[in-house]
Chains A and B, each alone.
Chain A
Amino acid sequence: MTGRVIVITSGKGGVGKTTTSANIGSALAKNGHSVVLIDTDIGLRNLDLLLGLENRIVYTLVDVVEERCKLKQALVKDKKNPNLCLLAAAQTRDKSSVNAEQLKKITDKLKKDYDFILVDCPAGIEQGFQTAIAGASEAIVVTTPEMSAVRDADRIIGLLEAAEGIESYKLLINRVRPNMIKSNDMMSVEDVENILSCQKIGVIPEDSGIITSTNKGEPIVNNEKSLAGKAYINVARRINGEDVPFLDIDRPKDIVGKIKKFLSGLKKQGKEQ
Chain B
Amino acid sequence: MEQFFNDNMYVIDLGEINSAPEIIFELSAVLDKEEARNKRICLKLGDVSLNQAQLLSIKSLINGIDSTLSSMETKSFDTEKVALSLGLIVSNVSNENTTEAQPAMPYKLAEEIKEEIKEETKEEEVIVEEEPIENSVESVIKDKEEQEIKEEIEPNKEESNGEIKSEPETTVQDELDVIFNSSYAQNTFLEIESTQREAEQKEELTDIIVPESEYTKEDIELEGFPTKYIKQTIRSGQVINYEGNVVIIGDCHPGCEITAFGDITVWGVLSGIAHAGAGGNQKARVRALKMNAIQLRIANCYSRRPDSLNSVYAEKTNSFTPEEARIINGEIVVFKIND
Contact = CB atoms under 8 A, between A and B. Distances in A.
Contacts of B238: 92
Interface stretch (B139-147, B175-183, B279-287, B302-310): B302-310
Centre residue among B237, B257, B302 by max chain A CB count within 10 A? B237
B294 A92 contact: no
Contact of B307 (A43, A79, A91, A215): A79
Contacts of B307: 52, 55, 79
A54 B294 CA distance: 7
Given A52-B307, A92-B257, A216-B310, A58 B237 contact: no
Interface in A79-95: 79, 91-92
Contacts of B304: 55-56
Given A79-B307, A92-B257, A54 B237 contact: no
B240 to A, nearest CB: 10
Nearest to A45: B255
B255 A55 contact: no
Contacts of B237: 43-44, 91-92
Among A55, A79, A215, max chain B CB count under 10 A is at: A55
A56 B294 CA distance: 8
B262 interface: no
B236 A91 contact: yes
A54 B256 CA distance: 12
A212 to B, nearest CB: 11
Nearest to B297: A58
Nearest to B293: A55
A55 B295 contact: yes
A56 B295 CA distance: 8
B199 interface: no
A44 B312 CA distance: 17
A86 B305 CA distance: 18
B1 interface: no
Contacts of A44: 237
Contact of A92 (B239, B305, B310, B312): B239
Interface in B287-339: 294-295, 302, 304-305, 307, 310-312
How many B residues touch the partner, as a band?
10 to 19
B254 interface: yes
A55 B239 contact: no
Nearest to A53: B307
B257 A55 contact: no
A18 to B, nearest CB: 15
Interface string B124-138: 000000000000000
Given A92-B239, A92-B257, A58 B302 contact: yes
Contacts of B256: 92
Contacts of B255: 91
B305 A55 contact: yes
Given A43-B237, A92-B237, A92-B239, A54 B310 contact: no
Contacts of B310: 216
Contacts of A57: 295
B294 A55 contact: yes
Contacts of A79: 307
A7 B239 CA distance: 30
Contacts of B236: 91
B302 A54 contact: no
Nearest to A93: B237
Interface string B259-295: 0000000000000000000000000000000000011
A57 B257 CA distance: 12
A56 B254 CA distance: 13
B248 to A, nearest CB: 16
B239 A54 contact: no
Interface in A86-113: 91-92
Interface in B184-227: none
Nearest to A216: B310
A92 B236 CA distance: 8
Contacts of A43: 237
A44 B235 CA distance: 12
Given A79-B307, A92-B237, A54 B257 contact: no
Nearest to A79: B307
Nearest to B272: A91
A215 B313 CA distance: 11
A52 B237 CA distance: 18
Closest 10 CB pairs of A and B: A55-B304, A55-B305, A92-B239, A55-B294, A91-B255, A91-B237, A92-B237, A92-B257, A54-B294, A43-B237
17 contacts: A52-B307, A54-B254, A54-B312, A55-B294, A55-B295, A56-B304, A58-B295, A58-B302, A79-B307, A91-B236, A91-B255, A92-B237, A92-B238, A92-B239, A92-B257, A215-B311, A216-B310
Given A54-B254, A92-B239, 18 more contacts: A43-B237, A44-B237, A52-B307, A54-B294, A55-B295, A55-B304, A55-B305, A55-B307, A56-B304, A57-B295, A58-B302, A79-B307, A91-B237, A91-B255, A92-B237, A92-B238, A92-B256, A92-B257
Interface of A: 43-44, 52, 54-58, 79, 91-92, 215-216
